[in-house]
Amino acid sequence: MVRRIACLDNLRGLVMILMTLDHTRDFFSVSHFDPTDLQKTSAALFMTRWITHFCAAVFVFLAGTSACLWAARRGPAAPVSGFLTKRGLLLLLLVVTVEAWAWNFRADLRHVDAGVLWALGWSMMVLAVLVKLPLGWVVSIGGLMVVGHNVFDGLKPAEMGWFGPWWSVLHTGDDIDFGGGFVLNPYYPLIPWIGVMALGYGFGHLLDAEQWRKPRRLAWLGGGLFAAFILLRYSNLYGDPQPWQAYPDPVFTLLSFLNCHKYPPSLLYLLMTLGPALMFLALASRPIAVLQVFGRTPLFYYLIHLYAIHGLAVLVALVSGGPVAVVAGGGIWQKDWPADYGFGLPGVYGVWLLVLMMLYPVCRWFEAFKAARPQWRWLQYL
């Protein structure tokens, strides 16, 4: 069995837990608006949403890191391109089947919501090509995508003619209407995420060297990224399409400073999330039991947590006399979701803890099931 690095599984497990909080809020919150809208939100609601920003960035970054370590443990002949391609195709299949059903309890192939699994799948297939280049090229291409893509924020699909739909997929994330009810919603645009995964692949080469797994080096690297975020964000010169501004309430000034653009992820968003994530690696070098269980079963956890949350939401609606059909059809973003239905933040946090307690033994079982069947190679993709 491939030796795992404990701090990576700790980090992956932590962001799984945070992701569950965000998706619990999607189905149970009484606040039916964007929590980062500073004209409507509260500090507690904003931070409940903001803390989950770490999830996508870490998922994609560590996917690149894991691919590098997977290849390193197997030697120069490791079929890393084939592995990435197969896993990427699997993720795209899950987008329109298992994941789509989890969100809406139906899989309508005419409307595809292209979220994190979409971005991961395509990024893996692009990385499958990039890894054939020298490492310096992989890191340079990834860095150029991450650092430079905000230069093109002013370009809109409507201004680009036949290339407009492609630009939506690559950068802006606007809906693409193909007619006849067929719609693609690529709200995880690919260019920045491909770059993040490529940088994660380069980071894997650092971690493969024992001296780079030392907490002090990881702390300096993460701290440097976060310091770059603070300086660049304060300047309001570049790196995010929405500048921060001062408010009469200093707390909301801070929230504005932290309120970076996620769709697509801006340079500042990525510095703000990946910097502290690397610092966490430095602090959590030893295994933490709960985080290890969730962190070693990431895709399995991702898929079942959606069903657990959505199923609980339908059950609560059924017991409380709520809008069962509406809840079954999706989360609070639906237009016909009753304005006064849902829980406040204490209720959301309570359901979140319940979901985590439900899923922990399931993930422990799956981890043992997978470890006992090394001959079932298809399990490595989960």
Q: Is 375 exposed, middle or buried (0-12, 13-18, 19+ CB in 10 A)?
A: exposed
| pLDDT tens, the chain, 382 aa long | 446 788 999 999 999 999 999 999 999 999 988 999 999 999 999 999 999 999 999 999 999 999 999 888 887 878 999 999 999 999 999 999 999 999 888 777 888 899 999 999 999 999 999 999 999 999 999 999 999 999 999 999 999 999 999 999 999 999 999 988 899 999 999 999 999 999 999 999 998 877 777 888 999 999 999 999 999 999 999 999 999 999 999 999 999 999 999 999 999 999 999 999 999 999 998 899 999 999 999 999 999 999 999 999 999 999 998 899 889 887 767 778 888 899 999 999 999 999 999 999 999 999 888 888 777 776 666 6
Question: Is 178 strand, coil or helix?
Answer: strand
CB burial readout 268-302, b (16+ within 10 A) else e: bbbbbbbbbbbbbbbebeeeeeebbbbbbbbebbb
Question: Is 310 strand, coil or helix?
Answer: helix
CB atoms within 10 A of CB 253: 15
Calculate the CA dihedral of residues 134, 140, 146, 148 and round it to 10 degrees: -140
Instruction: List the one residue out of 109, 125, 101 whose CA is nearest residue 330.
Output: 101
Q: How does DSSP classify residue 185?
A: E
CB atoms within 10 A of CB 81: 17
Q: SS3 breakdown of the chain: % helix, strand, coil, rounded to 5?
A: 70, 5, 30
Phi, then psi, of 194 in degrees rounded to 5? -60, -45
CB atoms within 10 A of CB 173: 20
Q: What tokens does 146 get? A: 């991450």
Identify the pLDDT of residue 381. 63
Phi, then psi, of 22 in degrees rounded to 5? -65, -45
CA separation, residue 29 to residues 341, 351, 356 (Å): 8, 10, 17
Identify the pLDDT of residue 1. 40
Q: What tokens does 63 get? A: 């996917």
282 CB contacts (<8 Å, ≥6 apart)? 7, 215, 216, 217, 218, 219, 222
Identify the pLDDT of residue 382. 64
Cα(273)–Cα(45) distance, integer angstroms: 18
Identify the pLDDT of residue 78. 82
Asked if omega into 346 is within 30° of 0 (cis), the reply is: no
CB atoms within 10 A of CB 250: 9
Evaluated on CA atoms 136, 79, 296, 112, the torsion sign reads: positive
Cα(24)–Cα(19) distance, integer angstroms: 9
Instruction: List the one residue out of 240, 262, 92, 130 whose CA is nearest residue 189.
Output: 262
Cα(362)–Cα(176) distance, integer angstroms: 38
Domain-by-domain residue ranges, the chain?
A: 6-381
Identify the pLDDT of residue 180. 86
Are 170 and 28 contacting, i.e. CB atoms less than 8 angstroms apart? no
